[in-house]
């Protein structure tokens, strides 16, 4: 247990800790942006498919 505490202390003192946190925050923001974009694209695609399906089922007119 003492060994683990020393490793945690070294990690917090080193410069790698803040850098890892910055990368984690950047990664989280990128994931949020990607998920938002995918959701928007999916919503638009769903609306398009529903529109096409409605036109096909009603006789295909414009």
pLDDT digits (tens, 9 = 90+) for 20-62: 888 899 999 999 999 999 999 999 999 999 999 999 998 755 5
- The residues, ordered by sequence, that sit 6+ positions from 17 with a Cβ below 8 Å of its Cβ are 11
Q: Is the pTM of this model over 0.85?
A: no
User: With b meaning 16 or more CB within 10 Å and e meaning fewer, what string describes 30-54?
Assistant: eeeeeeeeeeeeeeeeeeeeeeeee
pLDDT digits (tens, 9 = 90+) for 1-21: 788 888 877 777 777 667 888
């Amino acid at each position: 247990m003492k060994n683990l505490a020393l490793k945690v202390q070294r990690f917090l003192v080193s410069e790698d800790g803040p850098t890892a946190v910055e990368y984690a925050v950047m990664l989280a923001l990128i994931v949020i942006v990607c998920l938002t974009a995918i959701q928007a694209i999916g919503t638009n695609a769903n609306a398009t498919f529903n529109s096409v399906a409605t036109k096909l089922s009603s006789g295909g007119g414009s």
